[in-house]
Structure 1
């Protein structure tokens, strides 16, 4: 039952795409064009960051868990959570002025990143190294995204 509950918080697939589109629309409503553009650009970046390593590593999932769905390494959930939520953590430091609120939001998102991956592992869908690989791939994509965002804001 708890697996079904946490499936609602999965940021892959329809939920992830919907989240990206919703965040982009909010940024557009508040006239934050560069932020909206970066979030929309995350769709192909996220796909590339997840699919490319899977094609090279080709590791099966733990027995019985989503067998035949996709390869296990790296964890797409870990990759996507670092990229999507990590960029929100970055933006919060830019847009949220009250220190306590800013830190609280950043800590909550950081915990969500950790818990999303942990629950995938506890559900038997990933090996621990899948999470580490996913977090590393997501972090590399996040650094590139922040760099591109800063360049975009300069123009």
Structure 2
């Protein structure tokens, strides 16, 4: 788990370096044009919906429900602490990283307005931390293979859809999304690794 953490950290550092050297703008612009080339009223509505469930009130509601479920239904206090560390820690990490890199948001074609710095994406980090840690915690409580496959598929779909929605809406560069995934991947691997060691 810690090796994967180091790999994610190295990937994040690589993206941050390319952003600093301005070597990734061509990739970013090409991916943005690809997704925005599909623009339609229906797709825009869907992307706004995915974006909405990746941050703010929906994430808060899902987090509270998850904490209540872990504490009162499963009665797993350690898992509850792991969940809180995963989600809250990811949010704090995002704040620190954005304040460190000060990257401005893209200006190509915005379908919604956002404020604040761009790298790494708060939506990408929030989605990955929330749905990623839920998938990890619920995995062993699902006894059948197809149920576990469905859990992973649903979690991965939500994480990716929320990330893509931010690119489509023009408020993040693709490298912001990738950086967010890698930063959260590093964070989750680190705290899950510590959790597993203490549990064993």
Structure-1-length-normalised TM-score: 0.87
In structure 2, stretches of 5+ residues that fail to align are: 1-43
Counterpart pick for 2:71 among 20, 28, 36: 28
Q: Residue 43 of structure 1: CA displacement? A: 4.3
Q: CA separation of 1:143/1:96 partners in 2, compared to 1, >3 Å: closer, same or farther?
A: same
Q: CA separation of 1:45/1:39 partners in 2, compared to 1, >3 Å: closer, same or farther?
A: same
Residue in 1 that maps onto 2:23: none
Q: Residue 151 of structure 1: CA displacement? A: 3.8
Structure label with greater radius of gyration: 2
Q: Residue 7 of structure 1: CA displacement? A: 4.1
Q: Is the contact between residue 139 and residue 151 of structure 2 (CA under 8 Å) also seen in structure 1? A: no
Counterpart pick for 2:132 among 86, 107, 129: 86
Counterpart pick for 2:98 among 54, 58, 64: 54
- Of the two structures, which has the highest relative contact order with CA contacts closer than 8 Å and spacing of 6 or more? 2
- Structure 1 stretch displaced more, 108-117 or 43-52: 43-52
Moved over 6 A (4+): none
Q: CA separation of 1:36/1:78 partners in 2, compared to 1, >3 Å: closer, same or farther?
A: same
Residue in 1 that maps onto 2:26: none
Structure-2-length-normalised TM-score: 0.69
Q: Residue 79 of structure 1: CA displacement? A: 1.0
- How many residue pairs get aligned? The number is 152
Q: Is the contact between residue 54 and residue 72 of structure 1 (CA under 8 Å) also seen in structure 2? A: yes
